[in-house]
Every structure is written in structure tokens, then in C-alpha cells.
Chain A
Amino acid sequence: MNSPVVEATNLDLTFQTNDGPVQALKDVNLTIDKGDFVSFIGPSGCGKTTFLRVLAALEHPTGGSVTVNGVSPDEARRKRAYGYVFQAAGLYPWRTIARNIKLPLEIMGFSKAEQEGRVKNVLQLVDLEGFGGKYPWQLSGGMQQRASIARALAFDADILLMDEPFGALDEIVRDHLNEQLLALWARTGKTIAFVTHSIPEAVYLSTKIVVMSPRPGRISDVIDSPLPKERPLDIRDTPEFLEVAHRVREGLRAGHAYD
């Protein structure tokens, strides 16, 4: 029923380093459908970030094939098919929040009026109305990360690639942002690929959880979440939630037993 947004087949990626080749991804097969919320979880060095960077055409695979929206990642980037959210907010300190959000719009050549309208829209989406005129240092870490999500949403890409966006935030803020992210996903219907190393975060957010293991990075399990789309925070105490979390943990342990 859904057309695949991402399709990776037998994907390999080897980095040439001074200590010889390092295989970052090995034989990765994955399909992401439109509207999916996919989490990538695994220990560091398992290639989850690398896979996301391949989708963004920031790295190029050395074997196999990958398509984004049916075309190569490079082409998808040229068509501005995705917004990327990094671990750090990476806002420009010399631009206000509104002008930070305008950055991609200026680069992509939107008209001034269109820019204003879009900034207003996305500020509302991430619950930052009234903060457009503030500079980044005037905002808390969580608000800065929300602003960076707004920046990624501003040009209306269908896909949101998020690389541990809440990794540097404390747990209370993180819970709050997770809840907001789900609401945003429900409202916009975007496809989201989300890298994390927190099991509860992955289970709480995702419709599909990809468990990866390191050296070489590969997929050890793909779990389709049985949880409903509506997820209040206390769903994390239900038996269904704990069961999925258990399966993720098992998958991670199996990956570790390998080395």
C-alpha cells in the first residue's frame, strides 16, 4: 500500500583509514515506507550514523545499492528531499532563531514573503512562537534543538533524518521533546529516520526499530512495533512496551556476543 521511501540492498561501506580498511556497513538490507518512524539503535561503532549519512549522500557506499524516493541519495539531496538534524543544534550564533530557520530557505532561493510565512509555521510546529527574535545563546539546550528541528522542517522535505538529536539533553527534557516529536510526526506525516542509543526512546517513538551490531556494522534485527500510534508517555509502563524493549535488548546482546 505504501511506496518505499528508502530501499537499501546489500549495502556495503568500507572506509580507507591509515590503519587499513574499516568496514562500517556490511550487507545492509532495509526498506523504509512512507510515513514510517524508524529508529536505528546499537552500540557505538555499529554504523547507525553512517547509514543515515549514506541516505543523506554525505557518505557514499562502496557496494550494493540504495535509493531515496526512488532516486540516488545524491539526486535526492539535489531535490532537497530530506532535512537533517544533528546531535548538536548547530545554530549560527550570529543569527536570530528566525534567521537561522531562514538559512536553508535563503540558500534554496525562497522569496522573502514565503520565508516569513514558513518561519512562522515551523516555529509554531515546534512550540517556539515568540522566540524568533532571540539569539541562540538566549535559549535553553532543548529549545535550541527544537529550533534546529524547525530549521530542518522549514523547506518541507518529506524525510527527516535525525542523528541522536536529543543525545546531549537531560532525561526530563528528552521525554518532553520525544512527546512533542511524536505529535509533530502525527501532524505532518513525514517519514523519520532516527538514530539513538536509548532503548526506551527507540521503543517509545518508532513504528519500526532497526537493531544494529558493530564490527562490521550490520542489521541484527528489525522489529515492527505493535504499539498503537497514539502514545502517551505512560505507555512505557505497559507490558507491550516492555516486551518490545526486551526484544531490542536481546537483539543488542546477540550482536555483542559476536565479538
Chain B
Amino acid sequence: MVGRVGYHPPYGAGDHEIAGGGSVCGRGDCSDLVWACVPMNIKGVLTEAERGGAIVRPEGAKDRRDIAATRLVMDNSFAIPATWAQDRPRLPAPHQVAIELWQTTVMKKITSKRSLVFHAWVTLSATLLGFAIGTGLGILLAVGVVHSRVMDMSVMPWAIVSQTIPIIALAPMIIVVLYSIGVQGIIPKAVISAYLSFFPVVVGMVKGLRSPDMMQLDLLRTYHASKAQGFWKLRLPASMPYLFTSLKIGIAASLVGAIVGELPTGAVAGLGARLLAGSYYGQTVQIWSALFAAAILAACLVGLLGVIERATLRRMGMA
């Protein structure tokens, strides 16, 4: 693995080696990641070792700056184990992230400011509130689109436009505007969350509410059924499989929204705040463990929706 990095011409600047190391990581499995740490972290390790009195080739951080990381690794192989045990590595080794995750979840009281469970809960509460608002709004809009020609023509283009605006640009404005009218805390984050999650619900529900074919609609006409009866007895139940698909996309988007909502405020709590604090202080292990915590949380939420979906569809006799 290390040898492969060496195929890259030694451009010199350290950033190029990051790209080389990245391609090794991209292969995916964990042992690749472990090896990727070596060239990524070697310069920092050698600087520290030199300070501690070790003999490093070549001497002097300034001279080492323009030398390819792989060259340094080959010349100073004694330093390899240290690349997996730095306090602030450029790229932490998987076990460092795993240990950090363990220590900040299981080993910390959940009321502690350093507990990832505490931070995850702060983000999760905004996520769930935003998801509920977004889902409700999405369903209402979809019902309007299906039943009103005016809404059919007008809502969809705006919904699509709303999703083309980068949320990272919009989030600070939402927070500032809401703050100026005295709204802060969980609400602004939930609004950003809802903004991201209503869209898949609208698209899915419009499709779902329109899924009954002409024959089924004609059948209701022969019964002289009202529009409301058609909605409750045919369109809504028929849309359920579509709804759950949308909800799974929506909840993941909600979580992203809540995290992004924590970034521009300098929030002190939440997974987004952990990411931000980690990047301020060069705590890469903290950044990576917050990223994994977010990924695990999203997986749990989507998995939970999957369970609810199966239970609901089974009760309806459709699964």
C-alpha cells in the first residue's frame, strides 16, 4: 500500500500526498486506512521525534517539507508505529476513532458536555422536530397538488427551486432572521431540517396519491363517492408505500439539516458543534468520531423507519 503512494511523482507540497493517501483509503477496507495513516502523519511524527532527540533523516523539518512522504517513511521506518498513536494526527487510525467513540459514549455520563450521546440528543431533537414539520408540510402540499390544478402548476417548480439553493448558504440567513425576531434554540435548526425534508415527501406523496389507476377512480365514481371518500379510502392507503420511501430519504436529510444548522451559530452543543470545535482546535479524532456518530444515528433512524414501514404494511396486508 505504501509503495503505491510512491508511484505519485514527488510534487513536494504535502497536500499532494493527501490526495495520494486518499486514493489508498478509497479502496475501502480498514487495513488500507491503517496504512494510509502512515504517509499522512509521517511529517508530524518525525518533527516530534526530532524534538525528542531521535535521529531523523534528513534533519530539520524545513528540509523534510519538500520530500515525498513515502520517501520519509522508507528512510525512517522506526517512526511508523508512532503514526498510529498521535494526539492530533492529520488522519486518525480507525482504532483511535473507535476508542474515542467508546470513551465519549459508553464511558461518559450522558449529562456531560463531553458525551457524544448528549450532543447526539441535542441534534436528534432538532432533527425529529424538523422532520415532523417537514413531513406534515410535505403531505399537505402533496394533497393540495393532487386536488388543485392551481397548486399542481405552481408548487412543484418552487419546491424544486428551494432545493437548488445550497443549504449551507441559506442556513445562516434563516438563523439570523429568526434570531432577530427573537426565535432561537431548537426552532431555527428544526426549520432548516424541515426545509430539507419536506421535498422528498412532496415528490413521493404526489406520486403515491396519484398511483390509483383510472379503473379504480372510475369504480369510485360508479359508487357516487365524494372526493373526500376517494381520498381517505383510496388515495391515502394507496400512497403508503411511497410515503415510507420518502420518509427514509427525508429523515436523513433532516439530520443533515440539523447539523448544518449548528455550524454557523457557533453552537455549543450538538454533533455540528462537535465538528466545528474539532476543526477549530485541530482535534481530528473528535471530528471523525462526530462524523461516525452522525452516520450511526442516521442509520438507526432509517432502520427504525424501516421497521415501522414493515409493521404498517403488514397490518395493511401489503407486505
Contact = CB atoms under 8 A, between A and B. Distances in A.
A, B from the same assembly: yes
Interface of A: 56-58, 77-78, 80, 82-84, 86-88, 90, 92-96, 103-104, 106-108, 135
B237 A92 contact: yes
Contact of A94 (B221, B222, B224, B316): B316
B225 A82 contact: no
Interface in B219-251: 219-225, 229, 233-234, 237-238, 240
A92 B234 contact: yes
B317 A104 contact: no
B161 interface: no
Contacts of B215: 86-88, 90
Contacts of A86: 215, 218-219
Contacts of A82: 222
Nearest to B234: A92
B317 A107 contact: no
B229 A107 contact: yes
Given A77-B222, A103-B233, A107-B229, A90 B317 contact: no
Closest 3 CB pairs of A and B: A94-B316, A135-B317, A84-B222
B223 to A, nearest CB: 5
A83 B229 CA distance: 18
Interface of B: 215-216, 218-225, 229, 233-234, 237-238, 240, 316-318
Contacts of B221: 57-58, 77
B223, B224, B225, B229 — most chain A CB neighbours (10 Å):
B223
A57 B223 CA distance: 11
B231 to A, nearest CB: 12
B223 A80 contact: yes
18 contacts: A57-B221, A58-B218, A58-B221, A58-B222, A80-B224, A82-B222, A84-B218, A84-B219, A84-B222, A90-B216, A92-B237, A94-B237, A96-B317, A103-B223, A104-B223, A106-B233, A107-B225, A108-B223
A166 to B, nearest CB: 16
Contacts of A78: 224
Contact of B224 (A77, A88, A135): A77
A interface SS class: loop
A82, A86, A88, A135 — most chain B CB neighbours (10 Å):
A86
B218, B221, B222, B234 — most chain A CB neighbours (10 Å):
B222
Contacts of A58: 218, 221-222
A96 B224 CA distance: 22
A94 B223 contact: no
B222 A107 contact: no
A131 B316 CA distance: 17
B318 to A, nearest CB: 5
Contacts of A96: 317
Contacts of B238: 92, 94
A131 B191 CA distance: 49
B165 to A, nearest CB: 38
Contacts of A88: 215
Given A86-B215, A86-B218, A107-B229, A93 B223 contact: no
Nearest to B218: A58
Given A84-B219, A94-B317, A135-B317, 12 more contacts: A77-B221, A83-B222, A88-B215, A90-B219, A94-B238, A96-B317, A103-B223, A103-B233, A107-B224, A107-B225, A107-B229, A108-B223
Contacts of A77: 221-222, 224
A80 B215 CA distance: 18
Contacts of B224: 77-78, 80, 107-108
A135 B238 CA distance: 15
A223 to B, nearest CB: 28
A104 B234 CA distance: 12
A245 to B, nearest CB: 30
Nearest to A99: B317
B271 to A, nearest CB: 38
Contacts of A94: 237-238, 240, 316-318
Contacts of A83: 222
Nearest to B316: A94
